[in-house]
Chain A
Amino acid sequence: MNIGIETVRHVARLANIDFSDQELELFTRQLDSILGYIDKLNELETARIEPTSHVTRIEQTLREDRAAESLSVTQALANAPESKDHHFTVPKVIS
């Protein structure tokens, strides 16, 4: 076993996703099999290898720090499920 159902339950909380018990069991089985495959990486000795996070090593493209035209408030809120008085609105933070 690479991963147990309690760990999967914990990860689901971190990811903000709810699962039924049946889904949790299925995901535990599937993640266990994927992690078993991923374990193959431990065959490699990497203590002295530098990690790569960005491949092309080209300098970042940065634009000048100048104010420019952007979306209007109306446009920015147009896709909001709920909004009021130029703000996004959400349910109570603490219930």
Chain B
Amino acid sequence: MQQLSRLSGSEILTRIRSREISAQEATRASLARMEIVEEKVRAFRCILEAEALTAAGAIDAALARGEDPGPLAGLPVALKDVLCLAGHPTTCGSKILENFIPPYDATVIRRLKEAGAVILGKTNMDEFAMGSSTENSAFEKTRNPWDLDRVPGGSSGGSAAAVAADMVPVSLGSDTGGSIRQPAAFCGIPGLKPTYGRVSRFGLVAFASSLDQVGPFGKTVEDLARVLSVISGQDPRDSTSAGVPVPEYAGQLSSPLRSIRLGVPREYFPSGLDAEIGGAVRTLLTRAEGLGARVVEISLPHTDYSIPTYYILATAEASSNLARYDGVRYGYRAKGAKDLGEMYRRSRSEGFGGEVKRRIMLGTYVLSSGYYDAYYLKAQKVRTLLKNDFDEAFKKADLIVTPTTPSTAFRFGEKTDDPLQMYLSDIFTATINLVGIPALSLPCGIATNGLPIGAQIIGPAFSEARLFQVAAALESELDFRSRHRPAALDA
């Protein structure tokens, strides 16, 4: 059982399909692993043992009848608790949604179920996906499987830690400014933020609607490819979902790197960059050259302006999206208020945590009368400049390679007193959401502190097939997964 939980999602799928193992055995292996390590990691908000075994049993029965239960038949998956799963609490890491039970499935969940995936549970996260360490969860702290004294990153920290700790082979997260890529880098696994519009957001609790995107974590790049093919595509229930055809990404993974141009933006390798992180990414580029890629120096001149732009637009959109939590239709309601206004104020004051309030305040301020032009409109204009930077860069390079994060996983409490320091941990990832393009974090090395380092591979809109090809080639060249494991759990 222990060994089964170490397999990648793709390896498990192959074994189930060939009937070497059953779907129930795969689910039991995940549950058995949780039994051993979840107490230390605390990745999950809830574990759906009975439902998962029943769903896996149905897959086995279908296979026994000779039916095809779908491309993800029997694959154990975990879901960030920002996605609505019918009939089960969806808390978003917040007290204000502690008792919310969605009456419907998010489109991505419906698609996973229809493809035969088995849902093992919901994972912990920063409240309303606001944070970079999962410390903002109203419920518990999730630990990094590589070092239990450190954060797993965030906001999708639970989904990243669950995969890194071998509790599930794949999971879903959401990424508004780095919330998939940064925890993927901190936890030493691949993670993808797809192109804006690639994946439906129906049933994703909204944070910043012009930036949010759902995406996968996995053991391997192939895992990401298989899951993305299932969850992608147009959805009549999400007007921002794109009608761009969805390829079988996993079937197109092997492609030579020969003649591909990898752009290296000098602004992402500043003089103060952690030497080990810069070194690991440079080594990755050298290995890519060895495989025939061409490395070209490029410039993204407005890089320094991306975090201020991000924190204006993301908080403005959040303040508007989170206005719906008023204690009327769902969620927490303060008791004993004597009128409606007091009920609104007290429900929100008692229900939201500190970081969420801080962002609502910032967002309300930048949208308020007299400040709109100075902040919100200005940021939207700078967003145009950032987009132009990337349009220019993609004339010289097919893909762009940068570090995913400026540091490896930090310690609990290290950045909680200084919101600005926490925001700066998104410095290499947030621009990508502003520009709406896809980016994948790939583990590319281990620092002397024993923690993983991630490289970010960025492509033009809807270039996921290309991203997967290059990432898969580099993954097999580096062989990170068989050379490094999080030791903290098996001690």
Contact = CB atoms under 8 A, between A and B. Distances in A.
Interface of A: 3, 7-8, 11-12, 14-19, 27, 30-31, 33-35, 37-44, 46, 49-56, 58-63, 71, 75-76, 78-82, 88, 90-95
B381 A46 contact: yes
Contacts of A91: 337-340, 342-343
B343 A7 contact: no
A92 B383 contact: no
A71 B103 CA distance: 8
A90 B365 contact: no
Nearest to B308: A38
Nearest to B374: A42
Given A11-B368, A58-B244, 8 more contacts: A16-B345, A18-B349, A27-B357, A30-B419, A41-B379, A61-B235, A88-B328, A91-B339
Contact of B243 (A61, A76, A79): A61
Of the four ranges (under 10, 10 to 19, 20 to 34, 35 or more), the interface on chain B belongs to 35 or more
A63 to B, nearest CB: 4
B308 A37 contact: yes
A11 B365 contact: yes
B361 A12 contact: yes
A90 B244 CA distance: 44
9 contacts: A7-B365, A17-B357, A35-B362, A38-B375, A41-B305, A41-B379, A49-B381, A58-B197, A61-B241
Contacts of B435: 55
Interface string B234-267: 1111111111100000000000000000000000
Contacts of A58: 197, 242-244
A18 B396 CA distance: 52
A52 B383 contact: yes
Contacts of A60: 239-240
Interface in B366-419: 368, 375, 377-385, 387, 419
B348 A17 contact: yes
A7 B340 CA distance: 24
Given A11-B361, A37-B420, A51-B384, A78 B103 contact: yes
Given A52-B387, A61-B234, A95-B339, A31 B358 contact: yes
Contacts of A56: 195-197, 242, 436, 461
B382 A44 contact: yes
A50 B387 CA distance: 12
Q: Which 7 A-B pairs have the closest CB atoms?
A: A55-B436, A51-B380, A79-B330, A63-B236, A81-B333, A95-B339, A46-B381
